[in-house]
Chains A and B, each alone.
Chain A
């Protein structure tokens, strides 16, 4: 069964100046889904950290490479309002690594850097790193709202998933 089309799809280039825009979008969407201010901020932080890792490690700080962020609500409430939490998928065309390589450093080893993966895993309920079929990586992040009882299921809109960029 194909995945339903994302409710939001953002494409940006790998320039750090656009991170704030991506954060504000994530923050606003998370708020509409029902997360409190601190949770919204943490979700935006997790996405920011993922984007930074792509820019820094995947693209070696090149500022003209593509990154895509797709967003789905985990459920839909009355009047089609997003509810239940969020599923975010971040894709790139950067160098591929094995998911096992995506681990943070030990926190006891205090030194600059290496915190991004740890932060992502601390904030999100589910974190899945995968290689895209031909090029780049795909990171799936799921965060459920506190009152969400069921495991994550993306709202079924019966729409086809758009052809992934390659």
Chain B
């Protein structure tokens, strides 16, 4: 798994916990990379996967689709997926798609840890 691709960084604050931090818009051009990183994290045994979205100012439905897919995968592995620090504009798309209740969404990374 690419731990320090410029677009996506990740770190493990404690055993079984992984924080993935995208630093790009999550659109059709980027969502495949995010999908690969998150799916690999779950497959490799991460029990709590946190996606820190503080630096993401835009996400489209391909990003949502990625997160839905990973959420389902996490449930199958009895792992948790938490989305942290959504920008107002990103939260708006979750609300349009009525997925704001489907995910665990918290206001900050600290709250997620």
Find out whether the CB atom of A113 lies under 8 angstroms from the CB atom of B65. Answer: yes
Which residues of chain B are within 8 angstroms of A107 by Cβ–Cβ distance?
Answer: 97-98
Q: Is the CB of B58 within 8 A of A23?
A: yes
Interface size on B, residues (CB 8 A): 22
Does A152 touch B at the CB level, under 8 Å? no
B60, A48: Cβ atoms closer than 8 Å? yes
Q: Tally of A-B residue pairs with Cβ under 8 A?
A: 65
Q: Establish whether residues A41 and B89, one from each chain, have CB atoms under 8 Å apart when the complex forms.
A: yes
Any chain A CB within 8 A of the CB of B88? yes
Residue A73 at the B interface, CB < 8 A? Answer: no
Asked if A154 is at the interface (CB within 8 A of a chain B CB), the reply is no
What 15 new A-B contacts, CB under 8 Å, besides A19-B27, A37-B89? A16-B29, A17-B29, A19-B29, A20-B25, A23-B27, A38-B92, A41-B58, A41-B89, A45-B58, A48-B28, A49-B60, A52-B62, A110-B102, A112-B64, A112-B68
Given contacts A17-B29, A52-B60, A52-B61, contact A38 B89 (CB under 8 A): yes
Shortest CB-to-CB span from B86 to chain A, Å, is 13
Instruction: Please name all residues of chain A whose beta carbon is closer than 8 Å to the beta carbon of B60 when the two chains form the complex.
Output: 45, 48-49, 52
Q: How far is the CA of A110 from the CA of B99 in the complex (A)?
A: 8
Measured in the bound complex, the distance between the Cα atoms of B31 and A48 in whole Å is 14
Q: In the complex, A1→B66 CA distance in Å?
A: 46
A42 CA to B96 CA in the complex, in Å? 10
Contacts of A42 in B (CB 8 A): 92, 96
- Measured between beta carbons, the chain B residues less than 8 angstroms from A49 are 60-61
Q: Could you list which residues of chain A lie within 8 angstroms of chain B, going by C-beta atoms?
A: 16-17, 19-20, 23, 37-38, 41-42, 44-45, 48-49, 52, 55-56, 107, 110-113, 115-116, 118-119, 122-123
- Which residues of the other chain, B, contact A115 by a CB distance below 8 angstroms? 61, 64-65, 97
Inter-subunit contact A56/B28 (CB<8 Å) = yes
Known: A112-B69, A115-B61, A119-B61. A45 touches B93 (CB 8 A): yes
**A116-B99 contact given A16-B27, A41-B89, CB 8 Å threshold:** no
